Chains A and B, each alone.
Chain A
Amino acid sequence: MKSVFSLILLVVLGAGVVFTLSSIPFGSTSSDVGEYYIDSGRADTGATNIVTSVVVGYRAFDTLGEVTVLFVAAIGLGAILAAGRENEEKKKAEWEPASLVLYTGCRFLFPLILLFGAYVFIHGHLTPGGGFQGGAVIASAFLMVYLGCRKKRISRTWARNTESISGLVFVVTGLTGLAVGGHYFLSNFLPEGTLNTLFSAGIIPIIYIAIGLKVGSELTGVIDDLIEESE
């Protein structure tokens, strides 16, 4: 009975979704807002990557929110693990040391991955990529060290301070825009520079570097929390 009811509900919902989708034109330029972004994105924000001009230009406030969502998730995870740890006895497991090849390989690759991650977020306004992607690449370098070199750990104070300071840089950049640049929160108060050069697009690179560092240290913190939990 229950499954019949679920099936009927699914069919009705599916039919509704198909009906709605059939009225949405795909592949054509139906959106005025989208057209506007493509036409004036470069002129308005100075970023050649149009996705960046939307994410950190027109909708920068959303991005501040999304950074916060990740922040909340990371702290929430940390809080629950810490609370759970208080309630139960801890048993230490012995780790088998990694082989020499793995150890050396990780140490060799680690700085290169960091460099690539930094490249991705520093050039977010010029090439595909940005703060979130670059941050994830950086965190993957730390994950590799955690898995490959076994005993190496990051300093939690260092990671936490990076996280806080870069979050603060984002908010303060926004507030500076409110104070000096045209009286809007998150408005651009720096010169836009020449298109296609590293020092262009006003506050966008600053925000993307802050996001990159924040996401990188946050995800590394999550990895650290989870690995500590699994020990």
Chain B
Amino acid sequence: MVNPVLLIAVPLGLAFMVPLIDSASRKLTRFVPVAALLFNLILCIRLIPAVLENPIVINLGGFTPPFGINLFVGPLGLLFAGLISLAGLVVSIYSLSYIKNGPVVKYHMLYMLLLTGATGVVLTGDLFNLFVFFEILCISSYALVAYHGDRAGIESSIKYLIQGTVGSGLLLIGIGFIYGIFGTLNMADIAMKIATVEQSTLFVPMILMVAGLGVESAIFPLNAWLPDAHSSAPSSISAILSGIAIEVGLYAVARIVFTVFGISDIYLFFAFLGILTLLIGEMCAFAQSNIKRMLAYSSIGQIGLILFALALATNNTVTGGLFQLVNHTFSKGLLFLSAGYMIYRSGSMEISSLNGMGKRMPLTSLAFTVGAFSLVGLPPFAGFPGKFLIVSGALLKGEMVINILVGLVLLSTVIEGTYFFRVIQALYFKDGNGEQRKQAPATAVTAMIALMILIVALGVYPKFLADFLSSASSDLLDKMSYVGSVLK
């Protein structure tokens, strides 16, 4: 069997090697992320059968938990690791031609380290180790947001840096409290001992940790940094930040709330928070005239929806939430990638400047349309099964409060539909200035076509993914088997 630690060690080693590779051959550098992520993707696919049978627990350094650090590779962790490699691979292919100026070598290193950090967060079984990888993820995204070195980029990067660092600080204080109370950092060990202490002492550490992670996962009211950061970053990075970084933050919140603490009294609070995040995100997105800011606010909305689905904590809704998460990674990635070249061509981020793009860049416009339809939840795209599972799963609970919240979800979908159709109308039904037709470069087109195929395939054959997601959702909800498989 292949060892899952390679998912972290190989990209990390390659990232360290990039300067050496660059001094050997300039041309090779930009292919290093492609190679690393392809390796990870193949590894993830090879791990699927073994993980579906039993979660893989890897003791690092040969020390048994709780004394050493362990990796926990269950269906959920593998889902995220696979998603990170797949989205990362597609975006790294896109970047081959998109990133031409600036400190290119450093871009590729930071990009790989960002994804390595994300992979570490989703695979680790140790709280402090989670913090360390979380820092790698966050710091590389601060730097990449300011990649262009322009005023807007640096300003939003600093905003992001300040809020993110305060968040990381809160997380670290929370972890410190937990270590003080339980004397251990192993997530399974803490989860086992959680019932042995007074529940009221856990409140402050939990609030600190959730608030700290909430900054990165853009849960309202901790998401003020996101619209600026996601809109002024290079589009390839926006795609990764929206499609991977905030999802990984949400994973960490869910893992800590469900597995480590497992206090079911507060789930309803998170459901409300999710709906609030959803409504605010969608309404702000509706008011934007800048396309990238609109997409960024729409990411906030989607995170709210996924949080709502996870917080309902039934197998159906969590499966739906994860389906929506996969869909969001692909379709928001596609939207940012296609918007990237449309902005490049029109020279402006205003939606009005995209008038008539449907004729000037047919394929890119088609990609944008597919992404938008999928995000809104139209069949036969990947967004439909996700939203359907969430809504039907929530209605199955049969509680009045939740039915009202589901009504709000449907309302927000209408808002979402409205602002996306406004853009699509601009693309196809408005006349622009009659410029020549010119497509995006081949690498970008390849990336966009790959994402379109994935979105349509998942929309047509949802069962293929839904089965895997169902075991991922029991991985998240079944705390006892998590503890059991780590502390044998």
User: Which residues of A does B touch, CB under 8 Å?
Assistant: 13, 16-17, 19-21, 23-24, 26, 30-34, 36-37, 44, 57-62, 64-66, 68-69, 71-73, 75-80, 82-87, 157, 160-161, 163-165, 167-168, 171-172, 174-175, 177-178, 181-188
- Docked-complex contact B69 and A62, CB < 8 angstroms: yes
**For the complex, what is the distance from the CA of A84 to the CA of B69, rounded to whole Å?**
40
> Is B98 in the interface zone, CB < 8 Å from A?
no
13 contacts between A and B (CB under 8 A): A13-B204, A30-B183, A32-B66, A62-B132, A73-B139, A78-B106, A82-B149, A83-B103, A83-B146, A83-B147, A86-B102, A174-B9, A185-B58
Does chain A have a CB within 8 A of B20? yes
Across the interface, which residues of A come within 8 angstroms of B69, CB to CB? 58-59, 61-62
**CB of B19 within 8 A of chain A?**
yes
Residue of A62, A64, A160 touching B12 (CB-CB under 8 A): A64
**Contact pick for B110, options A17, A34, A61, A75, CB 8 Å:** A75
Closest to B106 in A: A79
Which B residue sits closest to A88, measured CB to CB? Answer: B149
Q: Decide yes or no: A72 and B13 within 8 Å by CB, A20-B205, A163-B19 being known contacts.
A: no
Closest Cβ of chain B to A43, distance in Å, is: 12
A66 to B12, CA, bound (A): 12
B203 in the interface, Cβ–Cβ < 8 Å?
Answer: yes
* Chain A-chain B contacts (Cβ-Cβ < 8 Å), number: 187
User: Is B143 on the interface with A (CB-CB < 8 A)?
Assistant: yes
| Distance, CA A32 to CA B189, complexed state (A) | 11
Question: Of B63, B154, B204, which is within 8 A of A80 by CB?
Answer: B154
Given contacts A19-B200, A31-B184, A185-B61, 18 further A-B contacts (CB under 8 A): A20-B203, A24-B177, A33-B183, A44-B63, A62-B69, A65-B133, A75-B113, A76-B140, A79-B102, A80-B146, A161-B20, A161-B23, A163-B16, A164-B16, A168-B16, A181-B62, A182-B62, A183-B3
User: Do the beta carbons of B154 and A66 come within 8 Å of each other?
Assistant: no
A contact residues around B140 at 8 Å (CB): 72, 76
B5 within 8 A of A: yes
Report B197-252 residues with CB < 8 Å from chain A CB: 197-198, 200-201, 203-205, 207
Q: Are A60 and B60 in contact (CB under 8 A)?
A: yes
B180 at the A interface (CB under 8 A):
yes
How many Å from the CB of B124 to the closest CB on chain A?
Answer: 8
The answer to whether A79 touches B107, judged by C-beta atoms less than 8 angstroms apart, is yes
- Nearest-Cβ distance from residue B60 to partner chain A, whole angstroms: 4
Report the Cα distance A54→B289, complex, angstroms: 53
- Asked whether B143 lies within 8 Å of A87 as measured between CB atoms, the reply is no
Q: Is the CB of A185 within 8 A of B146?
A: no
Report A-chain residues with C-beta under 8 Å of the C-beta of B66. Answer: 32-33
**Alpha-carbon distance between A184 and B128 when the two chains are bound, in angstroms:** 20
Pick from A32, A60, A163, A184: contact of B59, CB below 8 A.
Answer: A184
Knowing A58-B63, A185-B3, A185-B5, say if A19 contacts B19 (CB, 8 Å). Answer: no
Q: Which of A31, A68, A164, A177 contacts B20 (CB 8 A)?
A: A164
Contact (Cβ within 8 A) A69 B61:
no
A79–B139 touching, CB < 8 Å: no
Contact of B19 among A31, A36, A161 (CB under 8 A): A161
Chain B residues whose CB sits within 8 angstroms of the CB of A68 once the complex forms: 12, 113, 116-117, 136
B13 touches A171 (CB 8 A): yes
**Which of chain A's residues has its CB closest to B114's CB?**
A72
Confirm or deny: B135 has a beta carbon within 8 angstroms of a beta carbon on chain A.
yes
Bound-complex Cα distance A19 to B18 (A): 49
Distance to closest chain A CB from B200 (angstroms): 8
The answer to whether A84 touches B154 (Cβ under 8 A) is yes
Q: Which of B3, B16, B102, B133 contacts A171 (CB 8 A)?
A: B16
Q: How far is the CA of A167 from the CA of B197 in the complex (A)?
A: 42
9 tightest Cβ-Cβ pairs between the two chains A and B: A83-B149, A31-B183, A76-B143, A167-B16, A65-B132, A24-B180, A187-B62, A171-B13, A184-B62
Residues in chain B near residue A80, CB distance under 8 A: 143, 146, 149, 154, 157
CB distance from A147 to the nearest CB of B (A): 26
Find B181's partner among A24, A78, A175 (CB 8 Å cutoff): A24
Interchain CB contact under 8 A, B146 and A65: no
Q: A181 → chain B, closest Cβ, in Å?
A: 8
* A35 to B, closest residue via Cβ: B183
Q: Which residues of A contact B177 (CB under 8 A)?
A: 20-21, 24
What residues on A are CB-neighbors of B67 within 8 Å?
33, 36-37, 58
Whether the Cβ atoms of B129 and A20 lie closer than 8 Å is no
Set of chain B residues within 8 Å of A84, measured between Cβ atoms: 149, 154
Whether the Cβ atoms of A60 and B16 lie closer than 8 Å is no
What residues of chain B lie closer than 8 Å to A163, measured between beta carbons? 16, 19
Is B148's CB within 8 Å of the partner chain A?
yes
Q: Which of A57, A61, A66, A75 has the most CB of B within 10 A?
A: A61
Residues of A with C-beta under 8 A to B59: 184
A86 to B149, CA, bound (A): 8
Q: Considering residues B107, B132, B146, B154, which has the most beta carbons from chain A within 10 angstroms of its beta carbon? A: B132
Q: Shortest Cβ distance from A38 into chain B, in angstroms?
A: 12
Q: Which residue of B lies closest to A59 (CB)?
A: B69
> Chain A nearest CB: distance from B440 CB in Å?
24
Chain A residues with Cβ below 8 Å from B13 are 167-168, 171-172, 175
Contact B142 A17, beta carbon cutoff 8 Å? no
In angstroms, Cα B115 to Cα A224, docked, is 28
Rounded to whole angstroms, the CA-CA distance of A105 and B356 in the bound complex is 70
Residues of A within 8 A of B149 (CB): 80, 82-87
Contact string, B115-141, partner A, CB cutoff 8 A, digits 1/0?
011001000001011001101100110
Which residues of A sit under 8 angstroms from B60, Cβ to Cβ?
60-61, 184-186
The closest CB in chain A to the CB of B183 belongs to: A31
A72 and B113 in contact, given A20-B205, A65-B129, A171-B12 (Cβ under 8 angstroms): yes
Nearest-neighbour CB distance to chain A for B76, whole angstroms, equals 20
| Chain A residues positioned under 8 Å from B205 (CB to CB) | 20
Q: Does B435 contact A (CB under 8 A)?
A: no
- Are A78's CB and B184's CB within 8 A? no
B263 to chain A minimum Cβ distance, whole angstroms, is 15
Complex Cα–Cα for A16 and B133 (A)? 28
Take A24-B177, A83-B149, A178-B3 as given contacts and tell me if A69 and B128 are in contact as well, using a CB distance cutoff of 8 Å: no
> Counting CB contacts under 8 A, is B466 at the interface?
no
- Chain B residue at minimum C-beta to C-beta distance from A37: B67
B52 at the interface (CB under 8 A from A): no
Q: Is B265 an interface residue (CB 8 A)?
A: no
Q: Is B68 at the interface (CB under 8 A from chain A)?
A: yes
Tell whether A79 pairs with B201 under 8 Å between CB atoms, given A60-B61, A185-B60.
Answer: no
